[in-house]
Amino acid sequence: MSGAIYMGTSGAILQQLRLEVLANNIANVNTAGFKQDLAVFGRESSNRNASPEGGGAASSDPGRLQPMLPFNRRVDFSQGPVETTERPLDVALNGDGFFAVQTLGGVQYTRQGSFSLNADNQLVTADGLPVLGEAGPITIDGDAVSITVEGDILVDDEEVDRLQIVDFPKPYRLRRTAGARFVPEGPGAVGAPPEETTVIQGAVEVSNTEAITAMTQMIEVNRLFESYQKVIQTTSEMDQKAARELGRIE
């Protein structure tokens, strides 16, 4: 393979990987608590916040053509906008930290605070996972629910539990498990209650993906991909022409 074709193919692969990241961000623009992925190239792809979902030089398939620059995904944990819903079980965090939820695979962490009650009156996430308080899964038996800025849950003016809110050392060593949920990984990834975070009842934190910015970047990526395709096509035609000329000379 000629150098120009390799460079063109490598560039096209990078743009395809970047397109996948942007498409996933846009698909989750309406997912509460979602944290967008950033496409990271070169040295930054080894950043401690990068997830193992990357491609490029990290691929273990020796037969796969690798892009010239290492590529990976890094989660952007910046806080998204907080929108008022006035639903009493919706909760947003203003500041650092995550809600703890119980899954079949253990405790996981999220900022997706669109909660509801299941058939057993347990407080659960949008996908039905129990939300954890300091005493375990939270059960709400009553009518009037009030949640304080510290995360205390009062039912009919009686305190029943406090939301388990956990933060981790930065830069975060958290791996995305599904959608807006994460698990800590690596040494030192031990959680503790954040000091300055406040709880907002009747609101949710929405995705930190800026749809217009992401769509503009997708247009840019498509144009770059087409440019690399043109390089590959033009170089291939030149190589074929040179081979035909060489054959006539011989």
pLDDT, average across residues 3-13: 65
Nearest to 170 by CA among 115, 229, 96: 96
pLDDT tops 60 at residue 250:
no
Answering whether pTM is above 0.85, one says no
Q: Report the alpha-carbon distance of residue 226 to residue 222 in Å, rounded.
A: 6
25-84 residue pLDDT tens: 999 999 999 999 998 876 554 444 444 443 333 343 434 444 556 778 899 999 999 999
* pLDDT score at 21: 92
- One-letter amino acid at 69 equals L
* pLDDT score at 238: 66
Residue 25 · residue 214 · CB < 8 Å: yes
* pLDDT score at 232: 65
How would you label 147-160 residue by residue, b for 16+ Cβ within 10 Å and e otherwise? beeebbbebeeeeb
